[in-house]
Amino acid sequence: MLSARPDAGVFPDAAVAGEEHSGFMGRFLAWTAVGVVAVVAVGWLAIALLKALLGVAVYLIVGAAVVGGGVYLYQKGKRAISRDQRMRNRIEAATSTYRQRNR
């Protein structure tokens, strides 16, 4: 079949085949670009989510360490002063307060 187009040359179907081929290549490149953009977007989202989760985990760990350290120091201080010593200190403080009120 001869084509009426001047660029058809000796092989009349070559121009038509070239147009079909370029259309396929354009679609292929477009879908490849869409795929690459999708992979980059999903990766960016995953990294942002991972950063957020790790940030929360770090805050929880630091908070737990501070609370645990406070409890540890409180217990250690409580054990450092024996029960009798605490009682003596309370009685002395109460006596001192009583004397100051009754001057």
Give residue limits of the domains in the chain: 6-101
pLDDT at residue 9, as a whole number? 55
Regarding predicted confidence, which is higher, 103 or 74?
74
The pair of structure tokens assigned to 97 is 């307060």
Nearest to 85 by CA among 96, 93, 75, 74: 93
More reliable by pLDDT, 86 or 31: 31
Confidence band (pLDDT; 50, 70, 90) for 25? Answer: confident
Give the pTM: 0.45
* Dihedral (CA of 76, 77, 78, 83) sign: positive
> According to the model, what pLDDT value does residue 24 have?
80
Q: What integer pLDDT is reported at residue 49 of this predicted model?
A: 96
pLDDT reported for residue 101:
80
Query: ∠ at Cα 40 (36, 43), nearest 5°?
Result: 140
